[in-house]
């Protein structure tokens, strides 16, 4: 997520935040006291002694993969602050930071804040998280505040390689629930400020939009778009020159391809929901009927057993009665 000084705009839940520098500086004054420093290329990693191994990996990965799709190689120096605990992370993030954010970048401060080793699984892969945040800084270095929110977040996810096919499909389950339809690109911007589900959906849609933009020019990707965008200062004009499309034309194309790509999944999701709802409604009735049938069957078995016993007793009584009459007849004959 990204916050800008003038407007408050997740890798499933990543957050890019831009504060007004003076206010943010007052909040974290003295925050780096007691931290160690590790220099690698244009990166300075500040960390607690317990995060030495993590800091070393972060610095090496940042320096080794210091280029981003379509952009000139970044030049600004960047500080990476590795929070030793959650309390320090929240203090560095500042007031109003979303609870679901696991990393924050401050383009004006040229700074990234992320969890240390105590962040656990919730904090995600630290190398991918850092890559996502550095992509935000690289985009800001090249274009400033020109990119809209959906492009900023979509590009960071695209550059970090966060979304495999399975991730996108899984997220679009939540996406369909969150939106009920394919949103507009402009509509995505406000979705980032919603709850966790809405933000994750917005990340997935934004990633798909930027990935499709890059695919429009298989040989040059986003390079021409960024070059024209920086010169024209307008995404609309840059789109026309780079891809021969209007922004509205691309939006319609993106909506259609997304619907075609995930429409089947939406149908399956709707069917699954319908089956689940039917099960919830009909299930108790089915159980009641099954129990009633069991009781009825048991009663029938008891009745059949009683009937069989009565018939057996009746047959025995009849047999004994016939034997008595025959005996008397024999005796009378013998006596005569």
pLDDT in tens, 103-112: 999 999 999 9
Predicted local confidence at residue 23, as pLDDT: 46
Window from 64-73, 99-108, 143-152 with minimum mean pLDDT: 99-108
| Separation of alpha carbons 98 and 2, rounded Å | 11
Window from 147-161, 193-207, 273-287, 296-310 with minimum mean pLDDT: 273-287
Chain CA centroid to CA 38, Å? 33
Query: Contact 171/157 with Cβ under 8 angstroms?
Result: no
Q: Fold for domain 1-145?
A: Glutaredoxin (3.40.30)
Residue with the larger pLDDT of the pair 101 and 158: 158
Confidence grade of residue 176 (pLDDT, cut at 50, 70, 90): low
**Is a pLDDT exceeding 50 seen at residue 16?**
no
> How many percent of the chain have pLDDT more than 70?
74
Q: How confident is the model over 235-264, as pLDDT tens digits?
A: 999 999 999 999 999 999 998 888 877 765
123-146 average pLDDT score: 95
Query: Contact 184/150 with Cβ under 8 angstroms?
Result: no
- Arithmetic mean of pLDDT over the chain: 79
Q: How confident is the model over 289-313, as pLDDT tens digits?
A: 777 877 887 877 787 777 877 777 7
Q: Give 146's Cβ-side CA count (13 Å radius).
A: 21
Domain boundaries, the chain: 1-145, 153-278
């Amino acid at each position: 997520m990204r916050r800008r000084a003038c407007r408050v705009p997740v890798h499933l839940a990543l957050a890019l935040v831009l504060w007004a520098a003076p206010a943010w500086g007052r909040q974290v004054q003295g925050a780096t006291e007691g931290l160690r420093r590790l220099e690698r290329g244009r990166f300075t990693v500040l960390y607690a002694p317990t995060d030495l191994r993590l800091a070393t990996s972060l610095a090496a990965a940042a320096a080794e993969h210091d280029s981003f799709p379509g952009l000139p190689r970044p030049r600004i120096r960047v500080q990476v602050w590795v929070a030793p605990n959650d309390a320090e992370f929240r203090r560095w993030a500042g007031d109003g930071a979303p609870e679901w954010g696991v990393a924050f970048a401050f383009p004006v401060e040229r700074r990234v804040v992320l969890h240390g080793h105590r962040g656990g699984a919730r904090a995600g892969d630290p190398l991918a998280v850092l890559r996502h945040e550095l992509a935000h800084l690289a985009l800001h270095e090249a274009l400033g505040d020109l990119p809209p929110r959906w492009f900023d977040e979509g590009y960071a996810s695209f550059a970090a390689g966060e979304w495999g096919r399975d991730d996108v499909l899984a997220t679009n389950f939540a996406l369909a629930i969150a939106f009920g339809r394919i949103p507009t690109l402009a509509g995505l911007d406000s979705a980032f400020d919603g709850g966790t589900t809405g933000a994750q959906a917005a990340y997935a849609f934004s990633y798909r939009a930027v990935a499709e933009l890059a695919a429009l020019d298989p040989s040059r990707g986003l390079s021409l778009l960024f070059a024209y965008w920086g010169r024209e200062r307008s995404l609309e004009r840059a789109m026309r020159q780079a891809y021969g499309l209007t922004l509205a034309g691309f939006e319609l194309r993106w909506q259609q391809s997304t619907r075609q790509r995930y429409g089947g999944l939406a149908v399956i999701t709707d069917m699954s929901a319908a089956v689940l709802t039917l099960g919830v409604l009909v299930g108790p009735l089915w159980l009641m009927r099954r129990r009633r049938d069991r009781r009825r069957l048991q009663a029938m078995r008891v009745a059949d057993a009683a009937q069989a016993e009565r018939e057996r007793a009746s047959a025995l009584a009849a047999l004994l009665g016939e034997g008595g009459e025959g005996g008397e007849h024999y005796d009378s004959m013998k006596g005569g």
